[in-house]
Amino acid sequence: MSNREVVVLSVGGVRFVTQASTLQQFPESRLARMLNDDDREFKLVNGEYFVDRDGALFSYIMDFLRTLQVSLPTDFSDYQRLQREAQFYGLYPLADLLSQEHLLKPRLEILEVRFSLQELQAFFRIFGSCSTTIEALAEQITVFTGQQSGQGWNSPFPSQKPLVPLPLERPSHHDVVFLCGTEYSAGDQFMARYVSIKPDNRKLINGTNVLGLLLDTLLKDGFRLISTGTVVSEEKVECYTFERMKRAAGLTITANQTPGSSGVAQPRRSQLQKGK
C-alpha cells in the first residue's frame, strides 16, 4: 500500500483524494502508518480508507499536510476540537501549536482617517493599530507636485508640465500624513499637489474626491466604518474610524517531528498569500 500514489479517504462521510506523499509528511503519524496497514482503526473498504472522525475538521488537517502551514479562517473557533483531531492522527506538532490559540487567533485592527479642508488645501492623517497596514497604504498612496499658472491652477486635471512624486510624511510606524490642493507660490504661479491611490490611476487634486476614494479603498480592503465625527479644535477636522479582523500570520512547521517531541520546533512566521 505504501507505493500507492493516489489515496482516497472517507472521513465522517466526507471524501478526500490526495497523494500518498502528502499523508507521509510526518512518518510517525497514524496517517503515514495507515498506508502500511499498520493501524487497524483505518479500514480499507472498496479501495477507500474509512475513518470515523469529523470530516469538516479533517479538511484543515489536509490543508496543513499539503502546505505545512496552519492557516485558519477568521471566524474559526474550534481550536480544542481540532487539537483533539490532530492528536488522534498523531500530528503532535500541529496539536501543540493549536494549544497556543493566541498565535492563531485573528486580531481586531483599528484604523482612523482624519480629514481637514482649509481654503484650497486638504490635509489627511491616517493612523492604524497595525504598522504593516500603514506600510501597505503608504505604498498605495502617491502625492505628485508641480507648478501651475494662475489661469489653470484650479483645473481638475494635471497640467502638461511634468509632475514630481513626493515622499509621504511618516511621523511614526503607525501613521502617514499627506495633503492635496494648491498653495500660492510666486507671481501667478501656484504649487499643486495631486494624490493617486492604487489601483486607481487618477491623479486627484480635490480633497473631497481624494477622501471618497480613500474611504472606498479601505472598504474594499475589508475595513468596516464604525464611526464618524468632528474633532473639536481650532480647525474643523473630520474623523472616520474603521475596524477589521486581521488574520493571524501563517505558521510553518518542520515536517520531521516525532511523537513526544516538543512538536512545534520553533515554527516560523510566514506570509500568507493574498486572499487565502
CB under 8 A, 24+ apart: contacts of 200-204:
203/144, 203/158, 203/163, 204/180
Three cell numbers at 174? 503607525
> Radius of gyration (Cα) for the chain, nearest Å?
27
Three cell numbers at 83? 487539537
Confirm if 229 and 236 have CB atoms less than 8 A apart: no
| Separation CA 1–CA 69 (nearest Å) | 27
Residue 10: φ, ψ to 5°: -115, 105
Nearest-10 crossing angle of helices 79-88, 55-67: 70
Q: Tell me the pTM.
A: 0.60
Instruction: Report which residue type is found at 188.
Output: D
Q: How far is CA 73 from the centre of its chain?
A: 11
Confirm if 198 and 220 have CB atoms less than 8 A apart: no
| Separation CA 249–CA 276 (nearest Å) | 11
Within the chain, all domains assigned CATH 3.30.1410.10 are found at: 108-151+159-245
Q: Residues 15-54: pLDDT tens digits?
A: 999 999 999 999 999 999 998 877 778 888 888 999 999 9
Q: How far is CA 183 from the centre of its chain?
A: 38
The domain at 108-151+159-245 falls in which architecture? Answer: 2-Layer Sandwich (3.30)
Within the chain, all domains assigned CATH 3.30.710.10 are found at: 6-105
Q: Please enumerate in sequence order all residues whose Cβ is within 8 A of that of 26, keeping only pairs 6 or more positions apart, or say none.
A: 32, 65, 90, 91, 93, 255, 257
| Separation CA 101–CA 251 (nearest Å) | 12
Residue 231 has a pLDDT of 80
| Separation CA 164–CA 136 (nearest Å) | 21
| Separation CA 176–CA 95 (nearest Å) | 40
| Separation CA 69–CA 143 (nearest Å) | 38
pLDDT in tens, the chain (276 residues): 444 689 999 999 999 999 999 999 999 999 999 988 777 788 888 889 999 999 999 999 999 999 998 888 877 888 899 999 999 999 999 998 888 877 777 788 999 999 998 888 999 999 999 898 999 999 999 999 987 665 444 555 555 568 899 889 999 999 999 999 987 665 567 789 999 999 998 999 999 999 999 999 999 998 999 999 888 666 689 999 999 987 665 566 666 544 444 344 344 433 333 333
| Separation CA 62–CA 56 (nearest Å) | 10
Three cell numbers at 151? 489661469
Cell 505504501 -> residue: 2
CATH of domain 6-105: 3.30.710.10
